Each structure stands twice: as structure tokens, then as C-alpha cells.
Amino acid sequence: MSNNNKKVWLITGSSTGFGRSLAEAVLAHGDSLVATARKPEQLNELINKYPESAKAVRLDVTNQLEVKAAVDDTLEAFGRIDVLVNNAGYGLIGALEEVSDEQIRRNFETNLFGAINTIRAVLPIMRQQKSGHILNMSAIAGFSNELGFSIYGGAKFALEGVSEAVYGEVAPLGIKVTIVEPGPFRTDFIGRSLDRAETSIDDYQKTVGKFLQFLDKIEGSQPGDPDKAAQALIQVVNSKNPPLRLVLGKYAYNKFRKKIKSLTAELDVWEQIAANTDFETAKANS
């Protein structure tokens, strides 16, 4: 790969899971990388393996000063930012009534506002370059939510809404945006990265409790391979026409299609009532 074809990646949450698999794949592909983590020492082995093309930076995405510093460090090390991957995040499971105020706010701060912080920090650079690609790691719960993921899925839904608008805002400037929607992958999401409600209410055991049992059952045997997902993301970044949404894994694809089918059926049933709420003059001109 020639130097002209190399890309500079900035990946948040690179120490484990998707972020670590993607960091390793990016470097093996021959690109340059600033890998961030709240504990950058966890990346020492990776950095030592690629001393010329990799740099580790401390970053808590909820801290705007650290976000700016990470962007500045990337520019100082490699002179540009071609790809931003908003991967930092974690889950929260519990009925809406069970999770605490603090859990709700902290989850949104990381999964939504943290991503917004980094997007806003890199856009001036990408606008100046007239190029760039932003990958926002959502989840299939960000399109078709699960019982017990009201807050986690809600934050991802919001991130997808932001991403859709930004996609259109920056397209004329040569900047691309892709929302990544994985299903269950064999990472530490269900274990270390899944916060659980501080209280438990018996009335939710048949709904939220059932989904939590499913998660605990598949822990360690999730069907998704994060290394294969990393290769898919590299292909997307090198595509001339990348998708707005990239759905990863058969589980996620099935849920995505099922929701589309359900939405279409519901629209058809209620179309006559819902569509007839315009003023008569508006209907006449439509």
C-alpha cells in the first residue's frame, strides 16, 4: 500500500471488544491509528507492535477537553484524520422504572453526548480536508429496541437520528457517515460493558427479566465474530458508495427486516385515518 492510500483512523474505546479488533485490523491493513481508551496502558502491546503507525491516547469521551486533546494529538502525529470511529460506549439493562437517574444520565453522556463531542471536534478538520468518514457504532437496539434497553437503545436511537441528519449536512463537503448496527457479537458487552439496574421489580420479570436471561445464556457464545466485523468496516471505509446503515450479523438482519415489515403493515392499516388529518386545501394541492 502506498503512503497516498493510507488512512488515518481515530478510534474511541479501543482497549477491548469491537474497538480492539478494529484497531488491530486497521494496523494490519497498513493504515495509521490513534487508539483511545480511558486506560491507554491497556494498548501498550498493540502500540509496541506498530510503533511507527500507532499511538495510544487517553480519552474519556464525556470530557470535552480530552476529546480536543485526542484530536490535536492525532493531527500532530499524522497530520490528518480520515476516519473517526465512535466506538466508546456501554450497555444498561433494566426496565425504565428500575434504572436510577444517575444511570440514565451517565449512559446518555457516554453513548450519545460522547459521540456528539467527537463528531463536533473532527468536523472542522474533515471540512478543511474536504474528505473524511465517520462511523458511529450503534446497535440493532438502536433500530429495533429490546425490552430492558429503554435507556441504552434510546441513546442509540438518538445517535442514529443525529447521524441521519449529519449524513445529509456533510455529504456535499466530501464527508461520509455510516451507522453500524451489530447484533450480539462475542465481545465483553454482556459482561464488563453491561450496567444493570440498581433495583429489581417483580412485575418486570416476564419481560425485562426474560431478555436478561437470554443475554446471560448467550454470554461467551454470541454468533458474531468481531474480527470479521472489523474487516467489514474496513471495506465500508474503502468503498466509493458506503451505506448510511451497516447491519452486522444474521440476528441483526432478521430483527431489522422484521421491524420494517411490522412498520409497513401498521402504516397500511392506519393510512386512511392518519393521512386524512391535513387541511382540505392541503389535500387538494397534494
- In this prediction, residue 137 has a pLDDT band, given cuts at 50, 70 and 90, of very high
Answer yes or no: do 39 and 139 share one domain. yes
Answer yes or no: do 255 and 219 share one domain. no
DSSP structural state of residue 224: B
Rounded Cα distance, 99 and 104, in Å: 7
Q: Which domain holds residue 27?
A: 3-248
Share the mean pLDDT of the chain. Answer: 93
Find how far residue 40's CA is from the centre of its chain. 20
C-alpha cell at 57: 491516547
Q: Are 37 and 59 in contact (CB under 8 A)?
A: yes
What CATH number is attached to the domain comprising 126?
3.40.50.720
Answer yes or no: do 10 and 141 share one domain. yes
Answer yes or no: do 265 and 227 share one domain. no
- Percent of the residues in the chain that have a pLDDT greater than 90, as a whole number: 83
Give the mean model confidence (pLDDT) for residues 74-92. 96
Q: Return the top range by mean pLDDT from 1-5, 14-18, 66-70.
A: 66-70
Find how far residue 205's CA is from the centre of its chain. 29
Rounded Cα distance, 131 and 125, in Å: 9
Answer yes or no: do 31 and 170 share one domain. yes
Answer yes or no: do 101 and 27 share one domain. yes
Grouping H, G, I as helix, E, B as strand and the rest as coil, residue 255 is: helix
Answer yes or no: do 256 and 174 share one domain. no
- In this prediction, residue 2 has a pLDDT band, given cuts at 50, 70 and 90, of very low
Res. 171: pLDDT tops 90 = yes
Rounded Cα distance, 86 and 179, in Å: 10
Grouping H, G, I as helix, E, B as strand and the rest as coil, residue 37 is: strand
Answer yes or no: do 54 and 111 share one domain. yes
Grouping H, G, I as helix, E, B as strand and the rest as coil, residue 81 is: coil
Answer yes or no: do 265 and 133 share one domain. no
| Sequential DSSP letters for 219-255 | TT--SB-HHHHHHHHHHHHT-SS--SEEEESHHHHHH
Could you give the number of structural domains in the chain? 2
Answer yes or no: do 176 and 199 share one domain. yes
Q: pLDDT digits over 235-276, tens only?
A: 999 999 999 999 999 999 999 999 999 999 999 999 999 988
Active site residues: 138, 152, 156
pLDDT at 1: 36
Answer yes or no: do 88 and 159 share one domain. yes
pLDDT at 3: 47
Q: Are 116 and 12 in contact (CB under 8 A)?
A: no
C-alpha distances (whole Å) from 229 to each of 18, 36, 47 are 8, 19, 22
pLDDT at 4: 57
Answer yes or no: do 155 and 209 share one domain. yes
